């Protein structure tokens, strides 16, 4: 179960990256955010800028074939809420420093999260709870906290750098290509990062032969407050999957 769960969560994270992303950032100032910019220095500055943010609002829409998918999330450093919809399937993930919670309709729990019919039936309409420190908790936290944004950044190897000036607004652009595999098509990616005083991402695009999407990041620095379900509507992970 754990390996399947992790795989499904990675798919959700990847779907966030298969997109064009637009972020609300500070106005450009005369001083660029990175001196002597290159791939390594821009990535280092971006990771540092993201790590200082208390939260961000994320929306994602994509379409592959006839199926549309969306993600709406408010994620912070240690807490967050994420709503994932794909066609008629939907799940909601809520993370706090102490517990993670999962809920969804039958189709969402089975198709998005990869649960068996028996496991979905065990959860029913309740919220599945996972305690901090456990592997299921860590998997969900990786999908519904600000570390998700950092995971969307490319590695240094294979990435090229360029600077773009649009309407007197300087931006850093990182580009790379991911080769096709037996199960995934070739991907062309461009990650655009602000040259303002905070090197926060502005836009990330990935194009493939099978589809594309759009992710918008806004409200950088927002204070993320989550609402947890009442205990009467929860069921412990161990009761469904065992210890």
CA dihedral 217, 69, 89, 140 (to 10 degrees): -40
Supply the pLDDT for residue 120: 95
3-state secondary structure of 85: strand
For residue 113, what are the CA distances in angstroms to 54, 76, 90, 103, 121? 27, 22, 10, 10, 14
Report pLDDT for 166: 52
Helices (H), 105-232: 106-107, 117-123, 135-143, 147-151
The sign one gets for the Cα dihedral 40, 217, 136, 18 is: negative
Number of domains composing the chain: 1
Check residue 65 and give its pLDDT.
73
Domain of residue 75 covers 2-241
Helices 2-17 and 135-143 pack at an angle, to 10 degrees, of 10
pTM of the full structure = 0.79
φ/ψ region of 226 (left if φ > 0, alpha if ψ in -120 to 50, else beta) reads beta
Residue 177 pLDDT: 93
In which residue ranges of the chain is pLDDT below 50?
Answer: 1-31
Q: What is the CATH number of the domain that holds 192?
A: 2.50.20.20
Can you read off the two tokens belonging to residue 158?
Answer: 């294979």
C-alpha span between 228 and 83 (Å, rounded): 14
Q: State how far the Cα of 186 lies from the Cα of 21, in Å rounded to an integer.
A: 20
Instruction: Give the C-alpha distances (Å, rounded to integers) separating 161 from 13, 51, 154, 186.
Output: 24, 22, 12, 20
pLDDT at 32: 57
How many DSSP H helices and E strands does the chain contain?
Answer: 7, 13
């Amino acid at each position: 179960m754990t390996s399947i769960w992790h795989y499904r969560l990675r798919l959700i994270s990847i779907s966030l990256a298969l997109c064009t992303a637009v972020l609300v950032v500070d106005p450009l100032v005369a001083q660029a955010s990175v001196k002597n910019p290159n791939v390594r220095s821009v990535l280092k500055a971006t990771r540092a800028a993201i790590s200082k943010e208390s939260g961000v609002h994320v929306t994602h829409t994509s379409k592959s074939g006839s199926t549309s998918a969306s993600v709406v999330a408010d994620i912070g450093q240690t807490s967050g809420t994420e709503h994932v919809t794909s066609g008629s399937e939907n799940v909601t993930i809520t993370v706090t420093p102490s517990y993670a919670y999962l809920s969804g309709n039958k189709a969402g729990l089975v198709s998005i999260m990869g649960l068996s019919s028996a496991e979905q039936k065990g959860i029913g309409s309740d919220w599945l709870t996972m305690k901090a420190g456990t592997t299921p908790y860590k998997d969900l936290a990786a999908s519904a906290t600000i570390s998700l944004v950092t995971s969307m950044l490319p590695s240094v190897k294979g990435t090229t750098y360029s600077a773009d000036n649009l309407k007197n607004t300087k931006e850093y652009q990182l580009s790379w290509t991911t080769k096709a595999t037996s199960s995934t098509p070739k991907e062309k990616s461009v990650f655009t990062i602000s040259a303002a005083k905070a090197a926060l991402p502005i836009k990330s695009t990935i194009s493939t032969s099978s589809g594309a999407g759009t992710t918008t990041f806004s409200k950088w620095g927002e204070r993320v407050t989550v609402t947890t379900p009442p205990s009467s509507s929860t069921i412990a992970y161990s009761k469904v999957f065992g210890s």
